[in-house]
Structure 1
Amino acid sequence: MSRELITFEVAGQVFALDIMAIREIRAWTPVTKLPRVPAHVAGVVNLRGTVLPVVDLAARLGWPATEATSRHAIIVTQLGGQISGWIVESVSDIVTLPQDSLQPAPSTGAESVVQFLEGLAAIDDHMVQVLSLAALSAGEELAEAA
């Protein structure tokens, strides 16, 4: 069995999300910042009349915040009833990944980006980090932002 993933870059690294969780990919739109939200919540945008919380994926992964430009994109995902946007540097490709080629993330013994990974896969010349949308969305801060 295989899965389709969308690959994208964040902080110069290649990541992927399951295509079934992605509603759309939007061009960068400046966000409206909100007070008293976690640092990785960049703000909100209007998505056809719906308030969409937008997360800086680099900051969520523990890296420096993204200084977004018109070259960045927002990947809109849906997990259950929660819709959120994720700032990425660029969207690369749709890839088909055989399920048995996904390797478990190595244990680092410390809280790190590994907690957000379903696993790792070698695709072409890149090591692709497959993200778990459920782990990224854990917590109530996104629901509160919307």
Structure 2
Amino acid sequence: MSTTASAFDVLAELSLTAKPGGAGNKLDAEAQLQWSGIGFSLFGEQFIAPVGELSEMLEIPASTRLPGVQPWVVGVANVRGRLLPLFDMAAFFGGKLSSSKRQHRVLILERDSVYAGLIVDQVFGMQHFPLETFQEQANSKLEAVTSCLSGCYQLSDSNWQVFSTAKLIEDPRFANAALS
């Protein structure tokens, strides 16, 4: 065995001597005091979906219309070899997308056997909220959306409604997109 310690041995020894209350643990504690989600807008209101409920966001891809479906079903798109059904969320809730078409985005919901693209007005990306700003009661002005909300985060002058994709999936209207 060589008298010169390998880089691995040095790192292993350092990890054993590191103090449990070091700077890294302080950062971990601060990070645990925040909640993160993907921010988006619909009807001029700000919503946030938990990070784990959405797999990605993208511009609206070219799609093919489907016959015999609800008007809020835009069609299907080929996204990296998978057929992605696209749903206009504003139309689903009884309205119209409000921002310019250039800003519209698709949030991809991939949960259990559901793979769906939710078209929204605009996406703001990752948002972080202090846990103490959470309120269990959502305060959206849009009654049609309240069945999919699970609280809100209040920051200074802005409210971010927590949008639950699990509640959306459970909605019988969403589950049955075929015309009756």
1:51-130 aligned at under 5 Å gives the runs 51-64=83-96, 69-103=101-135, 104-105=137-138, 112-130=144-162
Identity over the aligned pairs, expressed in percent? 28
1:40–1:65 CA contact under 8 A, matched in 2: no
1:20: Cα distance to partner?
0.8
Instruction: Specify the code of the residue in structure 2 equivalent to 1:49.
Output: G
Counterparts in 2 of 1:107 and 1:52: CA distance versus 1, 3 Å: closer
SS in 2 for 1:105: coil
- Number of aligned residue pairs: give it: 141
Counterparts in 2 of 1:56 and 1:22: CA distance versus 1, 3 Å: same
2:42–2:97 CA contact under 8 A, matched in 1: no
1:74: Cα distance to partner?
0.7
Counterparts in 2 of 1:44 and 1:86: CA distance versus 1, 3 Å: same
Counterparts in 2 of 1:67 and 1:13: CA distance versus 1, 3 Å: closer
1:28–1:71 CA contact under 8 A, matched in 2: no
Counterparts in 2 of 1:29 and 1:70: CA distance versus 1, 3 Å: farther
The structure with the greater share of residues assigned to strand is 1
2:44–2:98 CA contact under 8 A, matched in 1: no
Quote the Cα distance in structure 2 between the aligned partners of 1:124 and 1:30.
39
Counterparts in 2 of 1:37 and 1:82: CA distance versus 1, 3 Å: same
2:167 aligned with 1:132, yes or no?
A: no
The structure with the greater share of residues assigned to helix is 2
SS in 2 for 1:112: helix
2:176 corresponds in structure 1 to 141
SS in 2 for 1:113: helix
1:7–1:94 CA contact under 8 A, matched in 2: yes
Runs (5+) with no aligned partner, structure 2: 1-32
Counterparts in 2 of 1:20 and 1:105: CA distance versus 1, 3 Å: same
2:42 corresponds in structure 1 to 10
What do you get for the CA RMSD once the two structures are aligned? 2.6
1:21–1:77 CA contact under 8 A, matched in 2: yes
1:21: Cα distance to partner?
1.3
Structure-2-length-normalised TM-score = 0.67
Q: From the CA coordinates, give the structure whose radius of gyration is larger.
A: 2
Cα-to-partner distance string for 1:48-82 (whole Å, 9 max, x where unaligned): 11111111111122223569733311111112221
1:18: Cα distance to partner?
0.6
1:31: Cα distance to partner?
2.4
